[in-house]
Amino acid sequence: MNGVYYIAAKNLLRKKTRTALTLAGIGLSSWVLASLLGFNAGYKAALDHDIDNMGFQVLLTAKGCPYEAATLMLKGGTGLRYMDQSFLAKVNAEPEVDRTAPMLMHAVFDPDKGESGGMTAYLGVGPDSFPAMKPYFEFKQGGWFRDPAAYEAVLGYEAAELEQREVGDKMLIPDKNIEIKVVGIIKRTGTQDDGTIYMPLQTVQKIFGKEGKLTGIGIRVKKGAPVAKLEEKLYDLPDVQVVSMAQVKSTIMNLLASAKAMVFAIAAIAVLIAMAGVVNTVLMSVFERYEEIGILKSMGAMPSDVFRLILAETGLLCLFGGAVGVAGAMLLSRVTEIAMRHFLLYAPNGRIIDITPSVAAGSFAAVVAAGLLSGLYPAWRAASVRPLEAIRGEGV
């Protein structure tokens, strides 16, 4: 058997350029397939991670587009409408509610960010309620502020790097000429929290003139309590809207499903094109060696021997091409991920392409299996060669 693969490899090396192009086609198809299968698993896991890390199952906001509001919260964005803080007491009165986290997000234009400036977002939260929603936070330095009216801030990992601040440093709020003290820096979480600047809720309300206003109320439901029942009661509150994180996740995944179906169709086409290249390469090799195959059979080679030889050539092409493609997909998954983020309306934080060993093995096996199937016809043609006709140059 080893001799068969040795001869098959020698045959492939006769036409190096053609073999290299065929390998490239197989490699690209396996790259696309592995990346898409990794995206299918990675995007869902990253979205689950983003939503779970919010710490609440229901978000109450002012009237507007609920999915735009939820997306802005997921992305750490700004532009949410304001609601009255009196709604907080009404929500806390519901028996299904375990905890609430009132929030006020406000953005300020910072001319010192880049050549054309940028926005700095401040999120006002309760010193007790919000940390209880995020018990998994670990601090690189310091800790949470305790005074609900203190001029203090806790910075996410990326926010601290951007502002170049450490615990004990002062930060100036643009256009307000107000200094706040950094009391904590959170370790990297891989979520929207990394770029957030947290301050006491009352402080943000006072600095930006939004006393008694909120942009959202995060609601954690008691274990075993019916979330749907709570949502029904919250729907009756005037001038607010209820956003279920489970519904947001379902909607995002449904919107993504049609795009994924199209992308998988493209991947299937890429694999089919690569397999057509395999058929072309191996079949041309058979035709070019028609007389040689006839001589082999006249010397005693059985049709099954010739069949295995040609199928071995196909197998080598698919094995090497598939291995190179899957390895390339794994090594350059970060680059592929950056490119895919440009085409997505919403991309969660974290890895959206997760090429696990099972995904890599599945992609490799699919490409090799498809390649071997495509090699059956050329192998059958070679096995069917009649020695005398082949030696005379007939029957091609």
Full pLDDT tens readout for the chain, 396 residues? 566 777 777 777 787 888 888 888 888 888 988 888 888 778 777 777 776 666 778 888 887 654 444 444 444 444 567 889 999 999 999 999 988 999 998 877 776 665 444 677 889 999 988 888 887 788 999 999 999 999 999 999 988 998 889 999 999 887 788 899 999 999 988 777 888 899 999 999 999 999 999 988 988 888 888 888 888 888 888 888 888 777 777 776 776 677 677 777 877 888 888 888 888 888 888 887 777 877 877 787 788 888 888 888 888 888 999 999 999 999 988 888 887 777 766 667 677 888 888 889 988 998 889 888 888 888 888 888 777 666 665 555
DSSP state of 276: H
Q: Which of 27, 32, 43, 29 has the alpha carbon at shortest distance from 354?
A: 43
Alpha helices in 82-145 (DSSP H): 87-92, 129-133
Which residue in this structure is represented by tokens 């809207």?
241
| SS3 (DSSP) at 30 | helix
- Residues 373, 22: Cα–Cα separation, whole Å: 16
pTM: 0.58
Alpha carbon distance, N-terminus to C-terminus of the chain: 28
The CA–CA distances, whole Å, from 12 to 240, 281, 309 equal: 69, 9, 11
- pLDDT value for 336: 83
- pLDDT value for 130: 86
- pLDDT value for 186: 93
| Every domain of the chain and the residues it spans | 2-49+252-392, 64-238
| SS3 (DSSP) at 75 | helix
Q: Which of 298, 314, 310 has the alpha carbon at shortest distance from 381?
A: 310
- pLDDT value for 67: 45
